[in-house]
Structure 1
Amino acid sequence: MSGPVLVEDHDDHVVLRLNRPEVRNAIDQATVDALHAACADLERSPRVAVITGADGVFAAGADIAQLRERRRADALAGINSGIFDRIRRLPMPTIALVDGYALGGGAELAYACDFRIGTPRVRIGNPEAGLGILAAAGATWRLRELVGEPLAKEILLTGRVLDAEEAHRVGLLNEVVEPRDLEAAGQRWAERITTQAPLAVRLAKSVFHAPREAHPFVDDLAQAVLFETQDKHDRMTAFLERKKDK
């Protein structure tokens, strides 16, 4: 198979595999276009999405050759920020499987996912300032939410790159596994998510990302929807019957 993003369908999730190994899966316009197409499918038919890279690298960044030629209009078009925000807004959770380099735009793609699983080979950070630009596709605000302001500033303003151990310690990685176990870990996380009530997961994700001023109204509204579902009734009935049988 060929193309900048390979789409692999599984029973309970879909794998989106960045596939430009000759440039360490650098994110170019064709990759962005392919990710938009994959998102459109996931919006129509919500499933857990696992995002990973080919050949032991997640994504070494945006494609510098293309980035060098971009001008003001390209920045204002939000080429990378738009697709990463769309990924963040997907109905079902997203899992980044991070091996090797996740730098610049590659790191920002990982930040946009709900969960990040890495290997000991992970190197993650934002060296954009060293190239005369800033991390404008989500890192300047997502990273602060993920690791706190002091460390976020250190990564963004000094170009510091974290290894897997520190990334896990500060919560940037949810789990670290050996490279040979990375795909199995993604499967395991997808299975854990899909054993939950699908609509409850979707609404919980949406409510989690709602602005502060929308709470508690959106919480109550989402709960009102879930209270009326057959899935809620069936799951609670099964719980009570299991409890009764003990």
Structure 2
Amino acid sequence: MSAPVLVEEHADRVVLRLNRPEVRNAIDLATVEALHEACRMLEKEPRIALIIGAGGTFAAGADIGELRERRRDDALAGINSGLFGRIQRLPMPTIALIDGFALGGGAELAYACDFRIGTPEARIGNPEPGLGILAAAGASWRLKELIGEPLAKEVLLAGRILTADEARDTHLLSDVVPADQLEDAGHRLADRIAAQAPLAVRLTKAAFHAPREAHPLIDDLAQAVLFETQEKDERMTAFLERRAKKEHP
């Protein structure tokens, strides 16, 4: 049996490829465990993560066969919500690369990422009420923050599926590219992130997601840490030297 998630490691990033194309990458318990293992790796050695689906689909939802058998205690265990919260809290940014369907739990996985890039075939939505349940793994609050309350209610309460253009117009997708360029587009964004100071990126992400009442203390503390780093001195010195050369060639 093939692994539900294929992991491709690079020096500054990791590609996580959902690998159940025969069921449109439906998220089952094995996938959840594999993604938890990937999170453990990324927490121990922080790197950018790109998440993509195999076979022309990101993830068409949770595994309905498994989901049908789940009961109260399974819901209270937060199987998917715990995972997606962990993904959102990863130290370095995450990028969801969406081709085809990102529905239900697949959409909620994408919402938990810091960035989303899609193809023209991308379709994003939460049809859970049509199955007698709700989108309980983050959509009920993340989606409102991402696209605003009126449209989020259409998706969550009326079953609206967003096209790629609609998702880009609301900034749910930061870009739409042809399918054969999707992974390259993700790596270009990862390159831009990787060009920044890694610790500055980590602390900026942490401050960004901190609750309002934590500011400005968390910003001041993070800045205090960064002010003492050698990388800050080296980058600022290099900046000043480049500017001096331009002013006095």
Please tell me the TM-score bracket, short chain as reference.
Answer: over 0.9
Q: CA-to-partner distance for each residue in 1:196-215, whole Å, 9 max, x for gaps?
A: 00000000000000000010
What are structure 1's unaligned runs of at least 5 residues? none
Q: Return structure 1 stretches of 4+ with deviation > 2 angstroms.
A: none
Q: Which residue of 1 aligns with 2:93?
A: 93
- What is the CA–CA distance in structure 1 between the aligned matches of 2:187 and 2:2, rounded to whole Å? 23
What are structure 2's unaligned runs of at least 5 residues? none
Q: Which residue of 2 aligns with 1:66?
A: 66
In structure 1, what residue type is equivalent to 2:160? R
In structure 1, what residue type is equivalent to 2:11? D
Q: Which residue of 1 aligns with 2:145?
A: 145
- What is the CA–CA distance in structure 2 between the aligned matches of 1:170 and 1:123, rounded to whole Å? 14
Equivalent positions of 1:162-173 (< 5 A) are: 162-173=162-173
Equivalent positions of 1:189-208 (< 5 A) are: 189-208=189-208
SS at match of 1:235: helix
- Aligned-residue CA RMSD (Å): 0.7
Q: Which residue of 1 aligns with 2:225?
A: 225
- What is the CA–CA distance in structure 2 between the aligned matches of 1:162 and 1:129, rounded to whole Å? 16
Q: CA-to-partner distance for each residue in 1:42-68, whole Å, 9 max, x for gaps?
A: 000000000000011000000000000
- What is the CA–CA distance in structure 2 between the aligned matches of 1:131 and 1:2, rounded to whole Å? 29
- What is the CA–CA distance in structure 2 between the aligned matches of 1:122 and 1:108, rounded to whole Å? 14
User: Are residue 26 (structure 1) and residue 23 (structure 2) matched?
Assistant: no
- What is the CA–CA distance in structure 1 between the aligned matches of 2:10 and 2:186, rounded to whole Å? 12
- What is the CA–CA distance in structure 1 between the aligned matches of 2:15 and 2:44, rounded to whole Å? 16
- What is the CA–CA distance in structure 2 between the aligned matches of 1:9 and 1:231, rounded to whole Å? 25
SS at match of 2:95: strand
Q: Which residue of 2 aligns with 1:155?
A: 155
In structure 2, what residue type is equivalent to 1:194? A
- What is the CA–CA distance in structure 2 between the aligned matches of 1:189 and 1:235, rounded to whole Å? 21
| Length-normalised TM-score, structure 2 | 0.98
- The share of aligned pairs that are identical, in percent, is 75
1:9 deviates by 1.0
In structure 2, what residue type is equivalent to 1:9? E
1:18 deviates by 0.4
Equivalent positions of 1:106-125 (< 5 A) are: 106-125=106-125
1:10 deviates by 1.9
- What is the CA–CA distance in structure 2 between the aligned matches of 1:41 and 1:18, rounded to whole Å? 17
- What is the CA–CA distance in structure 1 between the aligned matches of 2:182 and 2:57, rounded to whole Å? 12
Q: Which residue of 2 aligns with 1:179?
A: 179
- What is the CA–CA distance in structure 2 between the aligned matches of 1:25 and 1:122, rounded to whole Å? 14
